């Protein structure tokens, strides 16, 4: 017994006029294309543009010669860290690749280029150093070094040394620190250093005398900016075990402000040093901390807290890179130049499409119009897919991608020509126009399928073996090739079949008058 629902469905199908049933694939693809386009326009989605089309900044990270061994593994690890940082910045479709021994980062449409450049090139070596003195003088430095030497020799006299250090002062810090500030290359994790802090609200920079690092960033697991009591802090989570929270708590006990170790951490403050700069020097107010409740405070603004957490969260780069700004490794593409490139690509596409359309219409007449309709359907689907991938996957359209689309137009029209030429061959063989359509399409579609498959294989090889904008070319070519198959089967096939029925006695309307006449003449001669 047939269920009532199935009966109603069968009746509805029988009620559909035969003409509509014959063209159900055509109606289906038109409904899908129009529906998707309407949804796309309603949501306001559109393809993202790459660096060369909308402007932005390109940063080249070049390893410092001789500082570390540049291996493929180290470059790959650095690339992933940089990619994570850029993704966290919210840059749409960044292009981050290894080219030779360098890492090239393209950031299209960034709002704050200086901030992006600073975060991309940050080596992010985090160290927790005990604070020995703030705004130090030369005498304090010499007294500290002497204390270390005497302590190692077992002849230290802490009281005398402290008195000597207290007597020093009253001198201009900037003059005294000239020539003795620790250079980045001399920032030894196991040695005392003199480093600058962050500029205060007046732009003044204090300098700090810090002891050997008690903890490094290797003990941390993650970092998150948090807003507590109207103050932005960075909440850090340490790793478990001896190399994580245990090491951090050992440093906390050494610098606990109520009973600090006078030789290691006399101030009871732990300086947080990031890439040779003291980001903060908070007072250690507990002997131990829970693993996921370590707060870094320092009167941060929201952007400062987020940037610090971002860099700490993704860890240190395995290689030391040159400063991109100082080395001239930053290239800015203006939005005007990007718009000019986009305009040139659009103009080239329109001119090429117009010339091809004129040829198709003059040679194939209404068949040429059907070919342009197929191209329009695949273009609508391509627009929707690019917009969707831009929103969900960050895929951006680059100038190379535009080139791939223009090439795909030629590939799509080649498919139409293959079908139409097969149709001509069948007409010359003595078949009628209506029968030739049904006979020629399966043969032509096999040829079209294998041709597009070859294009897909080529695009796949380009995607796997190349980098940068060439991948954009491969992606556009691959997507357009798949859509060409869809449009040819579901749109072009039923349209050409309908044109054959309509122009059965007027072959000139589909550009076949000469072929039909030649076939008739050959039949008479035979």
Taking CB atoms within 8 Å and a gap of at least 24, the contacts of 364-367 are: 364/420, 364/510, 364/511, 365/508, 365/509, 365/510, 365/511, 366/499, 366/503, 366/509, 366/510, 366/511, 367/416, 367/420, 367/496, 367/499, 367/510, 367/511
Q: What are phi and psi of 238, to 5 degrees?
A: -90, 160
Give the pLDDT score at 169.
Answer: 34
Q: Which residue has the tokens 């700069």?
A: 277
Query: Measured between alpha carbons, how far is 82 from 102 in angstroms, rounded to an integer?
Result: 12
Report the b/e string of 365-394 with b at 16+ CB within 10 A: bbbbbbbbebbebbbbbbbbbbbbbbbeee
With the CA atoms of 236, 237, 241 and 245 taken in that order, what torsion angle do they form, in degrees rounded to the nearest 10? Answer: 30
Give the pLDDT score at 1.
Answer: 45
Query: Measured between alpha carbons, how far is 507 from 239 in angstroms, rounded to an integer?
Result: 79
Q: Which of 513, 501, 521, 522 has its CA nearest to residue 437?
A: 501
Q: At what angle do helices 335-364 and 399-428 cross, to 10 degrees?
A: 0
Task: Report the alpha-carbon angle 40-42-43, nearest 5.
Answer: 70
Q: Are the CB atoms for 132 and 255 separated by under 8 Å? A: no
CATH code, 56-120+328-333:
3.30.70.3400
Query: Measured between alpha carbons, how far is 36 from 43 in angstroms, rounded to an integer?
Result: 11
Q: How would you classify the pairing of strands 193-196 and 207-210?
A: antiparallel
Q: For the domain made up of 25-49+334-525, give the CATH fold.
A: Multidrug efflux transporter AcrB transmembrane fold (1.20.1640)
Give the pLDDT score at 319.
Answer: 74
pLDDT tens series, the chain, 526 aa: 445 544 554 554 455 455 555 667 888 888 988 998 898 888 888 887 777 777 778 888 888 887 667 888 778 777 877 777 677 666 656 778 888 788 888 887 776 667 677 767 666 567 889 998 776 655 665 665 666 566 656 544 544 444 443 333 333 344 434 445 666 556 778 888 888 887 777 777 778 888 889 988 778 888 888 888 888 888 888 888 888 899 999 999 999 888 888 888 888 898 888 767 787 788 888 888 888 888 877 677 887 788 777 766 666 666 778 877 777 777 777 767 767 877 887 888 788 888 888 988 888 888 888 989 998 999 899 989 988 887 777 677 777 787 788 787 777 888 888 888 888 888 877 777 777 887 888 888 998 899 889 989 998 998 888 766 677 788 888 988 899 999 999 998 888 888 888 877 777 887 777 777 777 777 677 6
Q: Which of 56, 116, 48, 111 has its CA nearest to residue 82?
A: 116
pTM (2 decimals)?
0.57
Q: What are the residues whose beta carbons fall under 8 Å from the beta carbon of 453, sequence distance 6 or more?
A: none
User: Which residues is 210 bridged to in the sheet?
Assistant: 131, 193
Q: What are phi and psi of 262, to 5 degrees?
A: -65, -25
Q: Which of 311, 148, 145 has its CA nearest to residue 236?
A: 311
Query: Measured between alpha carbons, how far is 259 from 365 in angstroms, rounded to an integer?
Result: 94
Q: How far is CA 265 from CA 133, 260, 290, 466, in A?
A: 10, 6, 22, 53
Q: What are phi and psi of 187, to 5 degrees?
A: -80, 85
| Residue 47, SS3 per DSSP | coil
Tokens encoding 448 = 């079209």
Q: Which of 471, 159, 84 has its CA nearest to residue 310?
A: 84
Q: Which of 107, 108, 123, 88 has its CA nearest to residue 306?
A: 88
Q: Are the CB atoms for 99 and 469 separated by under 8 Å? A: no
Q: What are the residues whose beta carbons fall under 8 Å from the beta carbon of 373, sequence distance 6 or more?
A: 491, 492, 495
Give the pLDDT score at 162.
Answer: 42
DSSP secondary structure letters along 171-195: S-HHHHHTTTSPPGGG--TTS-EEE
Domain coordinates in residue numbering, the chain: 25-49+334-525, 56-120+328-333, 124-299
Task: Report the alpha-carbon angle 35-46-467, nearest 5.
Answer: 120
Q: Which of 109, 94, 50 has its CA nearest to residue 402?
A: 50
Q: Which of 359, 366, 363 has its CA nearest to residue 503?
A: 366
């Amino acid at each position: 017994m047939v269920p009532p629902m199935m009966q109603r469905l069968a009746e509805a199908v029988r009620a559909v006029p035969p003409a509509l049933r014959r063209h159900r694939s055509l109606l289906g693809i038109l409904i899908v294309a129009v529906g998707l386009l309407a949804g796309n326009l309603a949501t306001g989605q559109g393809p993202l543009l790459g660096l060369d089309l909308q402007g932005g900044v390109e940063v080249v990270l070049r390893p410092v010669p001789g500082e570390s061994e540049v291996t493929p593994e180290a470059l790959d690890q650095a690339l992933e860290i940089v990619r994570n940082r850029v993704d966290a910045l919210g840059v749409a479709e960044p292009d981050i690749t290894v080219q030779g021994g360098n890492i090239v980062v393209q950031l299209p449409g960034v709002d704050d280029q200086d901030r992006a450049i600073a975060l991309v090139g940050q080596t992010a070596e985090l160290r927790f150093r005990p604070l020995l003195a703030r705004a130090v003088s030369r005498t304090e430095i010499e007294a500290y070094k002497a204390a270390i030497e005497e302590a190692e020799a077992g002849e230290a006299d802490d009281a005398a040394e402290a008195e000597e250090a207290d007597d020093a002062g009253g001198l201009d810090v900037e003059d005294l620190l000239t020539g003795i500030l620790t250079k980045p290359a001399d920032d030894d994790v196991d040695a005392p250093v003199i480093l600058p802090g962050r500029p205060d609200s007046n732009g003044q920079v204090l300098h700090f005398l810090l002891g050997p690092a008690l903890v490094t960033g290797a003990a941390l697991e993650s970092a998150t900016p948090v807003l507590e009591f109207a103050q932005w802090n960075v909440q850090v989570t340490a790793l478990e075990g001896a190399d994580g929270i245990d090491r951090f708590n050992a440093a906390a006990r050494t610098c606990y402000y109520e009973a600090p170790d006078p030789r290691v951490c006399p101030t009871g403050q732990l300086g947080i040093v990031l890439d040779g700069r003291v980001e903060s020097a908070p007072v250690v107010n507990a002997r131990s901390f829970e693993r996921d409740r370590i707060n870094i405070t320092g009167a941060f603004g929201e952007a400062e807290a987020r940037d610090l957490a971002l860099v700490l969260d993704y860890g240190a780069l395995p290689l030391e890179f040159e400063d991109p700004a100082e080395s001239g490794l930053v290239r800015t593409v203006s939005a005007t130049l990007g718009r000019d490139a986009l305009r040139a690509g659009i103009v080239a596409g329109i001119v090429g499409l117009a010339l091809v359309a004129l040829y198709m219409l003059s040679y194939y007449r209404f068949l040429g119009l059907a070919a342009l309709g197929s191209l329009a359907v695949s273009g609508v689907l391509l627009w929707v897919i690019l917009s969707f991938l831009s929103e969900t996957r960050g895929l951006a359209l680059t100038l190379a991608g535009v080139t791939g689309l223009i090439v795909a137009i030629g590939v799509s029209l080649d498919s139409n020509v293959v079908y139409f030429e097969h149709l001509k061959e069948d007409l010359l063989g003595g078949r009628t126009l209506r029968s030739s359509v049904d006979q020629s399409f399966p043969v032509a579609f096999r040829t079209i399928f294998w041709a597009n498959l070859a294009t897909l294989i080529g695009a796949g090889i380009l995607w796997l073996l190349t980098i940068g904008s060439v991948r954009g070319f491969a992606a556009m070519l691959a997507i357009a090739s798949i859509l060409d198959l869809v449009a040819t089967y579901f749109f072009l096939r039923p349209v050409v079949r309908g044109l054959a029925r309509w122009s059965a006695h007027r072959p000139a309307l589909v550009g076949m008058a000469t072929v039909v006449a030649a076939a008739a003449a050959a039949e008479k001669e035979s």
